[in-house]
Amino acid sequence: MLKINEIYYSVQGESTFAGRPCVFIRLTFCNLRCSYCDTEYAFYEGYDKSIDSVLDEIKKYNCNLVEVTGGEPLVQKESLELMKRLAEEGYEVLLETGGSLPIKDIDKRVRIILDLKCPSSKMMKKNLYENIDHLKPVDEVKFVIGTREDYEWTKEIINKYELSNKCEILFSVVFGKLEPVQLVNWIIEDNLNFVRFQLQMHKFIWEPDKKGV
């Protein structure tokens, strides 16, 4: 059994898949407490559901792109089986993970979007850097940047782990804390031409705190 917070059909708001219709499976629980978290409702709320029943439910959307997200999906060990079953069924599977739990046993067909938590998240010490060794070229590392200190730290981490040779790199702002234009200016000034800047699209399409979109 999995503890599910919500299953819904919307448009992918982030990553290189931004703009594509996508079914979201949000799992309950998170082992982190980021300063800017916008999904605190997923920390505890949820209902039990078997993997078979999840697969039945998402079929009705007739959409091939599925994202497993949270909270932190990897807190529940059965999430690995869920992703494997989704891949076996022929879905294009994305995983959003906060980057503090191991990714090495995830089915290789799954595209991983891995956060590395910046200083202002207050969760930086939880980053599991061994995960970088298990990233595939199609995976994506995401930095959510709220301050200049976060930005400088991010550049150091990219250099230290040679991330620009390993996978896609996404830069986002902490919504309401850092102006997007500021981050874009820094990227251009430093000519970080391997970075993909992104906005959390759903915060602009709907009210910023709207759930289930």
Instruction: Compute the least distance from the CB of residue 79 to ligand SF4, in Å.
Output: 14
Instruction: Compute the least distance from the CB of residue 74 to ligand SF4, in Å.
Output: 10
Of 118 and 157, nearer to ligand SF4 (C-beta) is 118
Q: Which residues, in sequence order, are CB contacts of 111 under 8 Å at separation 6+?
A: 92, 93, 94, 95, 136, 138, 139, 140
Of 72 and 150, nearer to ligand SF4 (C-beta) is 72
Of 42 and 192, nearer to ligand SF4 (C-beta) is 42
Instruction: Compute the least distance from the CB of residue 95 to ligand SF4, in Å.
Output: 13
- Nearest CA-CA partner of 187 in 139, 151, 142, 138: 151
Of 51 and 124, nearer to ligand SF4 (C-beta) is 124
Q: Which residues, in sequence order, are CB contacts of 162 under 8 Å at separation 6+?
A: none
Rounded CA-CA distance 145/148 in Å is 8
Instruction: Compute the least distance from the CB of residue 70 to ligand SF4, in Å.
Output: 5
The tokens of 114 are what?
Answer: 């891995």
Within 13 A of 160's CA, how many CA atoms are on the CB side? 9
Which residue ranges make up the site for ligand SF4 (CB under 6 A)? 30, 32-34, 37, 39, 70-72, 98
